[in-house]
Structures are given as structure tokens and as C-alpha cells.
């Protein structure tokens, strides 16, 4: 059976959303479970390789993975007909799918906000992309790191809600 045009777009945006989410959350977990814990073990003379080349590239894909995930997710929800109900957490619709996916969407939106408006602006100070004093860099590193850890913690229920939603029947 051939996909209708609408079915094809739903299929395409679902895959784009999943691939974008893997890019985003994969980088989030890389930063928190690999790069950050490894930095104190790296000799000082080798740290510029991370801070000047690896971290800026990884942060590029991290933040644009976040942007792509939220945009493709909202498009997918709109194409699938549940964007409004999910944003309202299924309240009034009595739809467990929309509640579950809505919780995941809100957690993802909080995480996206953290990436673009807390983590990235502070990482620019830490990496020397924008001018900052040594004290400002220290404060920025702490805030970016704590916010990234919050996002790591939020990623677990967010992923659960996104996966769990597919196991609920679509009811109105």
C-alpha cells in the first residue's frame, strides 16, 4: 500500500524528529558522562584541543540538534492533529496519549530553552567566544554545567513520556 501525501509527511517528520533527538540527547549525554568528567584528567597543555576545536563543534551540533528536535516535533504534532491537546496536557480531552506526549513536549521545551538561553550563552564565555573575566568564566562554567545536568535529568522522563505515548490508543 502506498503512503498518502499526508502519511508520507508524518513519516518523514517522525524520522527527522527522532534523528534530531538522537543528535541532541546524544550530545547532552556525551557532555555530561564523557567530556565534563574527563576534563580534569586531561593535561593542561592538551585542553586547548578540546576547548578550541572539539567543544565548539560539539556545541554547534548540540544546540542545532535541540532546535531541529523541537521544530520537527511541533510539526509532527501538528500534522498528527494533537499539537493543541498535547500542549494543554490532554486536559479536557481525557486522552492519555496527549497527556504523555504533552508532558514530554513541555520537558523538551524547558530543555530547549536551557540550551539556547542558559547553556550556550554561558559556554560562549567559558570558551572565549565572547569576552569575560576569569571570575565571569568560572560562574558561567558552573551555571552551564548545572543547567546541563538538569537537562540530563529531565531527559529521562522526557524520553519515557515520548516513548510511552505511542503505547496509548489514540482516543478523543
Q: Which stretches of the chain score pLDDT less than 70?
A: 1-3, 168-172
pLDDT at 162: 92
Write the CA distances from 29 to 26, 36, 150, 153, 169, integer angstroms.
5, 10, 11, 10, 31
* pLDDT tens per residue across span 110-138: 999 999 999 999 999 999 999 999 999 99
Q: Helix, strand or coil for residue 130?
A: coil
Nearest to 77 by CA among 171, 13, 3: 13
pLDDT at 75: 98
Q: Do residues 31 and 90 make contact, with C-beta atoms less than 8 angstroms apart?
A: no
pTM: 0.91
* pLDDT tens per residue across span 133-152: 999 999 999 999 999 999 99
User: Across the chain, which distance is largest between two alpha carbons, in Å?
Assistant: 63
Amino acid at each position: 500500500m502506498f503512503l498518502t501525501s499526508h502519511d508520507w509527511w508524518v513519516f518523514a517528520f517522525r524520522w527527522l524528529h527522532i534523528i534530531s533527538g538522537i543528535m541532541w540527547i546524544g550530545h547532552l549525554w556525551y557532555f555530561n558522562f564523557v567530556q565534563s568528567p574527563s576534563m580534569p584528567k586531561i593535561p593542561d597543555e592538551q585542553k586547548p584541543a578540546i576547548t578550541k576545536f572539539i567543544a565548539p563543534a560539539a556545541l554547534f551540533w548540540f544546540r542545532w540538534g535541540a532546535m531541529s528536535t523541537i521544530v520537527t516535533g511541533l510539526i509532527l504534532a501538528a500534522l498528527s492533529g494533537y499539537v493543541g491537546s498535547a500542549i494543554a496536557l490532554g486536559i479536557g480531552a481525557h486522552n492519555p496519549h496527549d497527556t504523555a506526549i504533552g508532558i514530554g513536549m513541555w520537558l523538551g521545551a524547558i530543555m530547549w530553552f536551557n540550551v539556547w538561553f542558559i547553556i550556550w550563552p554561558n559556554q560562549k564565555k567559558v570558551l572565549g567566544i565572547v569576552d569575560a573575566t576569569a571570575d565571569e568564566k568560572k560562574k558561567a562554567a558552573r551555571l552551564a554545567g548545572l543547567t546541563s545536568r538538569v537537562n540530563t535529568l529531565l531527559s529521562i522522563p522526557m524520553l519515557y513520556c515520548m516513548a510511552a505515548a505511542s503505547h496509548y490508543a489514540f482516543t478523543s
